A and B are shown apart, each in its own frame.
Chain A
Amino acid sequence: MLSKLNTLCLKGIDGREVLAEVYIASGLPAYSVVGLPDAAVKEAKDRVVAAVRNSGFDFPSRRITVNLAPAEIRKAGTHFDLPIALGVIAASGKLGKKPPARFGHAYFIGELALDGALRPVAGVLPMLLALKGRDIIAVVPAGNSAEAAVSGVNCLSASSLKEVVSWLAGQGELAACAAPAATRVPAGGGNDLSEVKGQPFAKRALEIAAAGFHNIILVGPPGAGKSMLARRFGALLPPMTFDESLETTKLYSVNGLVAAGRLIGERPFREPHHTISDAALIGGGSSPRPGEVSLAHNGVLFLDEFPEFSRPAIEALREPLEAWKVTVSRVKESVAYPARFLLVAAMNPCPCGYLGHPTRECACSPLQVHKYRARISGPILDRIDLQVQLSAVKYADWEALPGGEASAAVAGRVLKAIEIQRKRFRGGAKANAFMAGADLRRHCALPEGASAVLETAMNKLGFSARSLDKILKISRTIADLEGAAGIGREHVIEAVQYRMLDKSAAAAAGF
């Protein structure tokens, strides 16, 4: 006998409808799954057999064929357990001669335990979003109930196979999924910028980075506070909009990282270790999954010890930094994940870390320093607008240093600057950091005195034409933070200070 029921699968971060067909024929006992299943789907058999029997049903010893249609999409994940088990039960006639009425407009997702209980699965939110606005019912494991509720789709949650079967037979009801009360987590993980003492230039640079969506690299000796500052950076960014939050949560859901089923309401802060592979950073695997850059979508990607990352990992950042998405291509499939993050990189000034330290001697030759810095290739450095030096703080000074402004005060200024940019670029996600060509010329016109400053910087400090563009963009953001209509001489002069790597490269060349 044949049964058909609806389920879903993921392609990239988008849900696709899948029809699960189960056919039981006479013949030698056999079980086969067709329709491009991956290993986890094939393994479903053993779980399904145990779960069906332990729920008090009969698992027929006959020839069973499971087809997941459309057959050309790769099927991955453990959530096919529930639809396959229901299909077997229905096809063996336990639910009556005709398929239950509820089969037609219901979608089933869930992994089975051997005792028949339903376990939560990854990717529920993006799968359900494919059904948004449709008059259907989705049945999900109780563990995914909160996440499912966020999708806005009509959802029921079940805790075991038995419950679902009795609901199908019209003998019981399932609980509707409800979103938990929203709990607002304070941005920055409860850390405030004022807790970091000193470092006025770095703090100011972070403010500019947040205001203009400029990527930033912090250069400083060990213990200067690079990570502390980076962790507090998120609090300077404006709060997430609902759409941003939904997008980010989808990506987390695909990786099974949605804790307690909440929408991600705080900008993500991802801090992968420098030994990370390029595939883990940008996404990959034989059936692709989002990488760290996508998990940092709409948030901050912090790469500490940036030159220590492998060359392929660093170079892999080119696409997301340029296009805000990554395309992961594998033999089996090719998917694109969004990755619009703000890069905060940190590095030591030299291999030993003590170049420019007030008390410790640096043991590196200029060539070693040059080679260390050259690990970050030109094209990557080119996408990082702000380069700022952090200083080692002597303990004696540290006590007396002012903490500076609180995050909230800085975030206020940042928000105003962002509003100005929204008006300038007429909505959209554009920011000063993305100006090029015509935009740059239109919005970054320089008054007489300021272009003289740029010329001097070029001649005396050895800036290239490329760094001049960066200086212009940074100047525009500084002017926006002040609410100034045009860029002034003082804005350009300040911007020059945030290109320290260019400056030292010129100094290393000697002229």
Chain B
Amino acid sequence: MGVKIETEKLARVRLNFFSCHRSDWLLRLLDLYGGAAELLKRPAAELAAEGGVLPETARTLLAQSRAADPEKELLAAEKAGAGVLTVLDEAYPELLRKIYDPPLVLYVLGELKPLPAAAIVGTRKATPYGLRTAARLARELSASGVAVASGLARGIDTAAHQAAVGAGGVTWAALGAGLGCIYPEENKKLAAKIVETGGALVSEFPMNKGPLPANFPRRNRIISGLSLATVVVEGGFESGALITARFALDQGREVLAVPGPADSPASRGPNFYIKNGACLAENADDIIACFPPESLFGLKLRGAETVKSPAAAALKGLSPDALEAYRAIAAEEGGLNADELTARLAWQVQRAAAALFELEISSLLVSRGGRYCRAV
């Protein structure tokens, strides 16, 4: 029996080398033949007829699968320290198993702890507002004991992962490439940190598959599939974040949206969802309130009074100069740079430098390209 399972797992890893945009017909065929090992023995014409696809597609499926070397692949995964799961494994995440088209093979680097999770997703071109809100939600979720799932992309994803790691929480990243090709490049350190702090990187793609554009919409179903609820922080209508939200709806999970300014292009997606009945996410409690009751066990709710003004607590204990500088910066939607701050307050350079230093080391400001924005 054990040998048979092992053979079937290898066959599935082999089958997973076939790249397709939709895998529902494949899953149907797997059911029909009772496994990948059996499926791969069938002629292309039969697969095409039973699966309802073009003969060409079936031929490609067989050709790509046969060209693969699953033993070598498993060795590569082992070398990278990654686990390889199929639905046959008990460790395969329960929530993901329940979706319509669970990944044939799931590569996991790190540990997928049995925690309730919420996905925080959003555009790569985020505004300072989006970034700090994503970070705050991730921090609050971490404090409540909820895992934060996202996609390791630039912008909102990165902010959410970073904040969760920084708050000592658990965070999972579903990648649009094999675990051997972390993308984007600059998030390699973050990826390592996620694994280090008890989180996990997951991918359905073979270890060395590159970050092809076609991979990303598919991996979004894993982000929503791992989570009880998906929160859209920012994103225009063309944003991948909305794809994730659609997957969440298809999978029967909750979708929440962070409201944004009515005229902000980055907030059109979430505002649209709110208009159409999505829950509004202001803080972690709003998100947890959407979880099914059985998953609330063990979670810490924060209560209304602590979430009223997230900045107020952090501003206590600042020097008067720093407080004045913070107010001037917070009043500007796009933030201020050091020169603008100096001019606005009519201060000497030295005085502005001291105030900025104090704010920066208290993590109340973030700077990008020399422009300071409020971080809380």
Contacts and interface: CB of A to CB of B under 8 A. Distances in A.
Interface of A: 198-202, 204, 219, 349-350, 355-358, 362, 365-367, 370, 389-391, 397, 401-402, 453, 456-457, 460-461, 490, 493-494, 496-497, 500, 503-504, 507-511
Nearest to A496: B357
Contact of B370 (A365, A370, A389, A456): A389
Q: Which 10 A-B pairs have the closest CB atoms?
A: A356-B369, A355-B369, A389-B370, A356-B371, A391-B339, A391-B337, A497-B353, A460-B361, A204-B349, A494-B353
Interface of B: 154, 158, 162, 166, 184-187, 189-190, 193, 334, 337-340, 342-343, 349-350, 353-354, 356-357, 360-361, 363, 366-371
A358 B363 CA distance: 22
B188 to A, nearest CB: 10
Nearest to A457: B361
B274 to A, nearest CB: 26
A389 B341 CA distance: 13
Contacts of A504: 367-370
Contacts of A370: 186
29 contacts: A198-B339, A198-B343, A200-B343, A201-B349, A201-B353, A204-B349, A219-B370, A349-B369, A350-B369, A355-B369, A356-B371, A357-B369, A358-B340, A367-B185, A389-B338, A389-B370, A391-B337, A391-B338, A391-B370, A457-B361, A461-B361, A496-B353, A497-B338, A504-B368, A507-B366, A510-B158, A510-B193, A511-B162, A511-B189
A508 B361 contact: no
B363 A460 contact: yes
Contacts of A493: 353-354, 357
Contacts of A355: 368-369
Nearest to B159: A510
Nearest to A498: B353
Nearest to A355: B369
A397 to B, nearest CB: 7
Contacts of A357: 369
B368 A510 contact: no
Contacts of B350: 490, 494
Contacts of B354: 490, 493-494
A366 B339 contact: no
A201 B371 contact: no
B342 A510 contact: no
Contact of B334 (A349, A358, A511): A358
A202 B353 CA distance: 12
Contacts of A510: 158, 162, 186-187, 189-190, 193
Nearest to A495: B353
Contacts of B190: 510
Contacts of A362: 369
A365 B349 contact: no
Nearest to B193: A511
A75 to B, nearest CB: 55
A391 to B, nearest CB: 4
A361 B19 CA distance: 36
Contacts of B154: 365-366
Contacts of A453: 357
A199 B340 CA distance: 9
A200 B349 contact: yes
A200 B356 CA distance: 15
Contacts of A219: 370
B341 to A, nearest CB: 10
A203 B193 CA distance: 40
